[in-house]
Amino acid sequence: MKPPISYVPLLPILVSFIVGIIISAYDFSAMWVIAVIAIAVATFFRGYATIGICLASLAIGWIDFSIQAPKPLSETFINAPHTHTAIVQSTAESETSRHLIVEIEGIGRCRVTSPSFFPIIEAGDIITFTSTLSTPKNQHDLPDEWDLESFMYHQGIVGTAYIQPENLAITGHDSSLIWRIKRLQTHVVSLIGASQLDSPTCEFLIATITGDDSLLAPENRKEFASAGLAHILALSGLHVGIIAIVISIILFPLTLLQQRNARIIITIILLWVYAIATGLSPSVTRAVIMASIYFLGTILQRRHSSMNAMCCAALLILLFDPMAIYSVGFQLTFIAVASILLFANRLNPINPRRKILHYIFSLASLSCAAMLGTGIIVAYYFHNFPIYFIIGNIFVIMILPFLMGGGALLVILAALGCDPLWLCDTLNWIYNIIAVITKFSATLPGAEITGIYFPAWIMIPYYAAIASLLLALIYRRLFWVLSFLILATSTIAFHYAIKPQYHNQEYFFPRNTYHTDIIARDTTTMYLFTSAPMHQYNEIIELSKTRYRDYMARRDVDTLILVTDTFKSDLIARYGRNIVLAGQHYIIIDDNNDIYTPSSRPNYALVCRGFRGDILELYDTIKPDTIILSNDLHPKRRNRYHNECEVAGIPVLSIQKKTIAPKSGFIDIDNIGDFM
């Protein structure tokens, strides 16, 4: 290899490995892998060693993904309940249920849900449960809903299950060294939580030291995201670096005793303990691998290449978990580090001899470099971009080491039985400074651009523009400057040129379990009808805003209006149980009372959960053109009504597996689109 690739020999190997993982996602014959291996061997012995090694790396990535990719559930476990024994990987709780990620021997990773919070279950517990497993499937009722199936697959989850409390029991605990280390996170969370810290400080320290961000208030998350400081709440190389500094300070006496190598080895061991305890996230694992390579190079007195160490970290992570390539955390951490290594020093205008000023500007250049690489990924996945990210990062990054260092000291003292009020007061004061900076940045005018949506291929011209910018900074040639400007302009132009155009009006009947909803959109206003009781209205509105967030944002919907008993707009009108939607008359049947012959024949009778009467008698009384059976009906009753209508020759439709769309009757949900 020739410079500059020869300076980073692992880069082409890593790229080839990633290509192999991506190719493996497609159903190619195994003969193709054998062919690649044969070509790799032939080219290697013909003198083209680099090409041969890269092809071999591609084949290894291909094989690695094929072996470790989640395998579909057996029909045996889908069709009937079985008793399973599993080890709990992680736990999470919502307001009404508990969700467990478990590893079932012989099946793989599954997500199980229980409506009870008892018995208390922790990671590492061995549980036995009886349930019917199911394959994760999307149930999209509106376009642009969250892709649950893809998310589960990329998390390695092959099945889901619902467990009744009486069918679940803890049968043991995994007492291996790895699980003992993993349970350290729970103990540290307990120590911080039992301290005299204020709640916001406590939640922040738990997130930044242990990686458990479940306690963070949603409004705090939003402020940090708007200020461009969301990365502070997720463990990364920054946090690992601070922990490494804390460990080095604690082990400093070994240096005085001339045990420098022992200090380094203990530091490496403790960093890996920290990585395991916090869940081996891609960002922490990457940082610990790079730190380990650096420290080992120091012991062996070898030169260190940060870029090569980063490639080594990526290869090791993907070798053990090829699915990590699809993780947002994996993508962000490696692209951020690569951008920092390539751009940070080149963007700093201050001579290194002016140390203080150079350091201050380095914080700004580091933030800019990281955002150059990750900004588009953040915008793609989270649909927003913080404008004033430099302001918060300059100050918070300088303050964070003191807060985390103090938090580590608090954990140590608490473990020794001390309760230092003075330290808690100091940490509260430091956190309040961070909170003030964050709030200031987040509340500045135009602090955040929201509603950013674009296809993934837009990243190709974007990163081509970033590459040309790097070359312009290196070679200082007008050609590369012009190339950057052209590619950057093209990226923006592509974004606006391909922005989809949506029809002005759409309506849908979502498939809810406990109530019937109608969603109608007229340009930038969305209307919601629900048969749920009044005390659930606010909850349903908030759930709709969350579930249909992307649908609304892509169509610039800025208002969600609840359709009350008496309501009228250009698209939808309601009077009691009568609804006129897009010129079609619906009668809502949600109980057995007040069923009468209407003055005009309705187009549809929408039969909901509360109705338990005779469906044929209902049809004879109301005489609709078609009966629609809502998804919230009990499945047995819905099937019985459907069969009775078909036998009697009554037009009947069901929302169980399909949804309604204008001018198209019932449409398969898999083919959902724009229907007006």
Output the six-digit token pair for 597: 């012959």
Whole-number Å distance between alpha carbons of 476 and 471:
8
Burial state string for 644-664 with b = 16 or more CB within 10 A and e = fewer than 16: ebeeeebebbbbeebbbbbee
Helix (H) or strand (E) holding 549: helix 549-554
Confidence of residue 663 (pLDDT cuts 50, 70, 90): very low
Whether 137 shows a pLDDT value over 90: the answer reads no
Whole-number Å distance between alpha carbons of 507 and 659:
10
Whether 673 shows a pLDDT value over 90: the answer reads no
Average pLDDT for 327-353: 93
For residue 5, is it left (φ>0), alpha (ψ between -120 and 50) or beta?
A: alpha
What are the helix and strand counts (H, E) for the chain?
25, 21
Asked if omega into 81 is within 30° of 0 (cis), the reply is no
Confidence of residue 94 (pLDDT cuts 50, 70, 90): confident
Burial state string for 342-363 with b = 16 or more CB within 10 A and e = fewer than 16: bbbeebbeeeeeeeeebeebbb
Q: Which one-letter amino acid corresponds to residue 461? A: P
Q: Angle CA(664)–CA(665)–CA(667) in degrees, nearest 5? A: 80
Confidence of residue 2 (pLDDT cuts 50, 70, 90): low
Whether 656 shows a pLDDT value over 80: the answer reads no
Pair 229, 396: CB distance under 8 Å: yes
Q: What is the pTM of this model?
A: 0.89
Whether 668 shows a pLDDT value over 70: the answer reads no
- Give the model confidence (pLDDT) of 194-243 as tens digits: 999 999 999 999 999 999 988 898 899 999 999 999 999 999 999 999 99
Domain boundaries, the chain: 5-68, 75-174, 180-228+389-450, 238-326, 341-387, 456-497, 505-671
Whole-number Å distance between alpha carbons of 512 and 318:
39
Pair 213, 207: CB distance under 8 Å: yes
Whether 595 shows a pLDDT value over 70: the answer reads yes
* pLDDT, position 41: 93
Pair 77, 159: CB distance under 8 Å: yes
Confidence of residue 353 (pLDDT cuts 50, 70, 90): confident
CATH assignment, 75-174: 2.40.50.140
Q: Which one-letter amino acid corresponds to residue 311? A: C
Whole-number Å distance between alpha carbons of 522 and 571:
7
Whole-number Å distance between alpha carbons of 441 and 215:
23
CB atoms within 10 A of CB 401: 15
- Give the model confidence (pLDDT) of 629-647 as tens digits: 999 999 999 999 999 999 9
Whole-number Å distance between alpha carbons of 638 and 513:
12
Average pLDDT, the chain: 90
CB atoms within 10 A of CB 15: 16
Whether 481 shows a pLDDT value over 90: the answer reads yes
Q: Decide: residue 289, CB within 10 A, 0-12 exposed, 13-18 middle, 19+ buried.
A: buried
Confidence of residue 59 (pLDDT cuts 50, 70, 90): very high
Helix (H) or strand (E) holding 440: helix 421-442
Percent of the chain with pLDDT over 70: 96
- Give the model confidence (pLDDT) of 160-183 as tens digits: 999 988 999 999 999 899 999 999
Average pLDDT for 49-74: 92
Maximum Cα–Cα distance across the chain: 97
End-to-end Cα distance, the chain: 58
Average pLDDT for 567-587: 92
Whether 77 shows a pLDDT value over 80: the answer reads yes
Residue by residue, DSSP assigns 391-425 as HHHHHHHHHHHHHHHHHHHHHHHHHTT---HHHHH
